[in-house]
Amino acid sequence: MQFFQPILDNFFKFDFLIIIIAIGAAFLYYKCLESCKQLFNILIPRGNVALGKENQKSMNKHYELYFDSDGEQEILQKRQKSNSLYVLFTNVCAIFPLMGLLGTVISLIPMVGELDTSLFFMALTSTFWGIVFAIIFKALNGYLQARVEENNELVQTYLLRKDAIVERHARRNDEAPYDEI
């Protein structure tokens, strides 16, 4: 208990700001993860054509929607949103070590004039919280980064396939005799 008491005492000073930023980073992580899941579910729908006509109709409806220009626009907007949230999340995560160092410096400045060990301990708790949250969110970042990159590759594949289908359809229409049109 002797170890944790000074940490708790210092919590409502500079460390509180680090905790608030950690809550914000957790919120951004959640929002970005949800955005990635929504985009993934659009690009890789769940279903199987072999399961019957009802499932096939559902799959056909899904693909008709997203091969339309409005569906493509929705996919691109969702990709933009998840990429923006991810960039914001990574930038907030980069702040934690800096906040820990800033807390250390702020706590050590008054110590220059007098030798007070409590100020030294306050300095170390800020560094402690900054490092702890940097490690936690760096680990979460690895998972989130993989999801964002996978979605970006899937969107790129979607766009290439859609362009190929549209081009093939246009070629067939150009080659068809006029009486068949």
CA–CA distance, 97 with 93 (Å, rounded to integer): 9
In this predicted structure, what is the pLDDT of residue 121?
72
For residue 179, pLDDT beyond 60: no
pLDDT in tens, 89-116: 999 999 888 888 887 777 776 666 666 6
Amino acid 44 reads I
pLDDT in tens, 15-46: 788 889 999 999 999 999 999 999 998 888 87
In order of their start, the domains of the chain are: 4-180 (1.20.58)
| Residues ≥6 apart with Cβ < 8 Å to 59 | 45, 47, 49
Q: Which residue has the higher pLDDT, 115 or 146?
A: 146
Burial class (CB in 10 A: 0-12, 13-18, 19+), 103: buried
**pTM for the full predicted model:** 0.74
